[in-house]
Amino acid sequence: MDVTLPNNIDWQTWIRRWDKMQDLYIPARKERFEIIARLITDTQRKVLRVLDIGCGTGSLMMPILKTFPNAGVWGIEFDSTLLALAEKRFVKFSKRTLLVEADLRKSGWTGLVGSRFDAIVSATALHWFSPEQLSRLYKQFARILRPGGIFLNADHAGSACKQIQKDWENQRRFLSRKYEKGNADDWDGFWRAYGRELKINVKDFRKKLTGAWVGTELGLPLQWHFEKLKEAGFMKIDCFWRMAYDAIYGGIKK
Ligand SMILES: C[S@@+](CC[C@H](N)C(=O)[O-])C[C@H]1O[C@@H](n2cnc3c(N)ncnc32)[C@H](O)[C@@H]1O
C-alpha cells in the first residue's frame, strides 16, 4: 500500500519514538540485537547476506549492518508506513540494504529476496503468525538459507504450563519497569500520533493490513519451535538466551 511521508517529516524522531515504544514492551531489546549479531559472528565464517523478517523501521538491521561491513542486509515487512521510515534511515547504507514490501503469509515472498542467505534474523515479529503459518515460514527459511547458515529469532516464547507462564508474566512486569525509560508512547498512542502525521486513518490502514489476529500474543513454547525447526531441516537447535517469556532461539540449516 502506497504511503508518502510528508516532505518535512522529522523521521529521526519517529524512529526514536518507535524504538522507545518497543523498549517499553520488550525488556533488554538492544541487548537482544547485540546477542544476535554476536551469535552470527561466532557461527559464520563469512557474512554476505542477511535477511530480517518483519523488519519494521530497521532497528535490528542497523546493528547487523554495522557488525558486518561486507554484508548486504535485506528487510521484509508488510507495513509501508514503517518501511518508509526504514528507507530514510538507510539512505547512508543504500548500497547494502534492500527493503521489500511483502506479506509473509503469502507464498511468493521468497522469490522477492532470493536465496543463499548466511543468516535469517527476526525480532518480535514471528508471534504475529499462527502455528500453521509459522511452521510454513520455518520451511521457507530453511530453503533460502545456505547450508550452515543460521536462523535466529528474538521473540516471546511462552510456557505450556500455566503456573510457569504466570510466574514469567510477573517477572516480565518487574523487568518492564526496570527497563522503562519514561515518556514512551504505548502501541496505540504511537499509531494515533504517527497516523496524524501521515494524515491517514491508521485504524483502517492497520485493520486492512493485518486482518484478524491469528498470532500467539505471549509466544509458543520453545519445545514447539524446536520440533518445527527440526522438521524444517535445522540442526544444533537451541535457546541461546532467555528472560521471562522472551527468548532468542534458532538453529543451523543442515
Ligand atoms: C513488533 S514489530 C517489530 C518490528 C522490528 N522487528 C523491531 O524489532 O522493531 C512486528 C513487525 O512484524 C511485521 N509483520 C507482522 N506480520 C507480518 C506479515 N504477515 N508480513 C510482513 N511483516 C509482518 C509488522 O508489520 C511489524 O513491523
- Distance, in Å, from the CA atom of 81 to the CA atom of 6, rounded to the nearest integer, reads 11
Residue 185, C-beta contacts closer than 8 angstroms, at least 6 positions apart: 17, 20, 21, 24, 193
What percent of the chain shows pLDDT beyond 90? 92
On the question of pLDDT at 4 being above 90, the answer is no
CA angle 88–90–96, rounded 5-degree value: 150
Residue 231 — very low, low, confident or very high, per pLDDT cuts 50/70/90? Answer: very high
Residues near ligand 1 with C-beta < 6 Å?
Answer: 22, 54-56, 59-60, 77-79, 82, 103-105, 123-125, 128
- Distance, in Å, from the CA atom of 180 to the CA atom of 65, rounded to the nearest integer, reads 26
On the question of pLDDT at 115 being above 90, the answer is yes
Q: pLDDT, tens digit, for every residue of 148-174? A: 999 999 999 999 999 999 999 999 988
Q: Tell me: domain 11-253, CATH 3.40.50.300, correct?
A: no
Q: Average of pLDDT values for 72-91?
A: 97
For residue 210, how far is the Cα from the chain centroid? 16
Which residue minimizes the CA distance to atom 8 of ligand 1? 123
Residue 180 — very low, low, confident or very high, per pLDDT cuts 50/70/90? Answer: confident
Q: pLDDT, tens digit, for every residue of 25-80? A: 999 999 999 999 999 999 999 999 999 999 999 999 999 999 999 999 999 999 99
Which residue minimizes the CA distance to atom 10 of ligand 1? 125
Give the distance (Å) from ligand 1 centre to CA of residue 120.
14
On the question of pLDDT at 179 being above 90, the answer is no
Higher per-residue pLDDT: 174 or 99: 99
Give the distance (Å) from ligand 1 centre to CA of residue 155.
11
Which residue ranges make up each domain of the chain? 11-253
